[in-house]
Amino acid sequence: MEIHAETEFQPFSSRYHSEQACMEALIALKWPNGFVCSRCAHTRCSRLTSRRVPLFECAKCAHQTSALVGTIFERTHLPLTKWFQALELFLLPDGISAMRLSQVIQVTYKTAWLMLHKIRHAIGEFDARELLCGDVKVNSDLYGRNPSRPQFPHPYASAVVAGCTVTESDELEQVKIRLVPQKKGDGNRANRHELAVFINGHVDVRASAVQSFPLAYRLYTPLRKVVREAWESLKNTYVALGPKHLQAYLNEYTGRRRLHLPGAEETMQQKLLYMGVAIPAITYRQLIARQPNQSLAAAA
Ligand SMILES: [Zn+2]
């Protein structure tokens, strides 16, 4: 058993120890079936290798691109080996702080902070874009309510619609938690119309069997538990988290949860890498606009 486990487990950092190994991995993820021009969809190209980042020139329209365009690595000045190290450290059970990351991979604090935010953004965006599909349950739940002190709702408490997919062995798979913006803090839950809006926007209805739970006393329990865990986790991590940015952090929470699900053949790192290639980088300016205040930045 042990030998088998050892041959299967190959640390990310040893597999991607050189710039070239990292770049080839990104090229393979970007164009899994070979090059496709983003401008004219032509599939033949020439590869220009004179630069640090190899360029691919379309044989038809001469458009030049690289595997980093449209990914979290676009315009980076850092070696990709540092990025791959950061991805691996990000997946540590307790995550990693920007301060610690800056020490380990030897970049400035600001660079490490920005890298971690780009990774988080990719996870959240990726998760938000993928529809629920299969055996789907949908709850009309409340976020931010302490069940033992229901008379004191948190100022950021809000109605949410939560949805999940369930495997054949009754395990929760993908989860989505969506705030219902017009029902913040007043204790009202999403109604049937709001549940239907969620299902239309976030469920692949043609390929799914959907079961709704609109009544407070009859929610789908495993899903309600995840909503409570999200609240516990976010309230502790982001003390100063304002309602304006809560949806983005909920997306990150459910995305990170999904990365840690067992069962898939691909490793967590591979999944994270895939997300990083699928989602364009959030810029420093966009990120600052998203930060509610300084204490959130300090908490990150
Ligand atoms: Zn082209």
Tell me the per-residue pLDDT of 147-196, one tens digit each, with 9 for 90 and over: 667 666 666 788 999 999 999 999 999 999 999 988 877 778 899 999 99
d(CA 116, CA 122): 10
For 2, the 3-state DSSP assignment is helix
Q: What is the structure's pLDDT at 160?
A: 94
**Stronger pLDDT, 28 or 11, i.e. the higher one:** 28
- Residue 41 Cα to ligand 1 midpoint, Å, equals 6
Distance 67 CA to ligand 1 centre (A): 15
What is the Å distance from ligand 1's center to 37 Cα?
A: 5
The residue ranking higher by pLDDT, 12 or 224, is: 224
- Considering the chain, what is the average pLDDT of its residues? 85
Asked whether residue 241 carries a pLDDT value surpassing 60, the answer given is no
Write the pLDDT tens digit of every residue in 286-299.
877 765 544 443 44
Q: Given this model, what pLDDT does residue 13 score?
A: 67
Distance 18 CA to ligand 1 centre (A): 30
SS3 labels along 271-286: HHHHHHHHCCCCCHHH
CA of 42 to the centre of ligand 1 (A): 5
Query: Which tokens go with 247?
Result: 């949806």
Confidence of residue 243 (pLDDT cuts 50, 70, 90): low
Q: Give pLDDT, residue 80.
A: 95
Lowest-pLDDT choice from 70-79, 110-119, 134-143, 180-189: 180-189
Q: How far is ligand 1, taken at its centre, from the CA of residue 258, in Å?
A: 36
Strands (E), the chain: 45-48, 55-58, 64-65, 135-143, 158-166, 172-184, 209-213
Cα of 119 vs centre of ligand 1, distance in Å, is: 30
d(CA 153, CA 187): 8
What mean pLDDT is predicted for residues 54-74? Answer: 95
| Pairwise pLDDT comparison (130 vs 287), residue with the higher score | 130
CA 249 to ligand 1 centroid distance, Å: 37
Give the pLDDT score at 64: 95
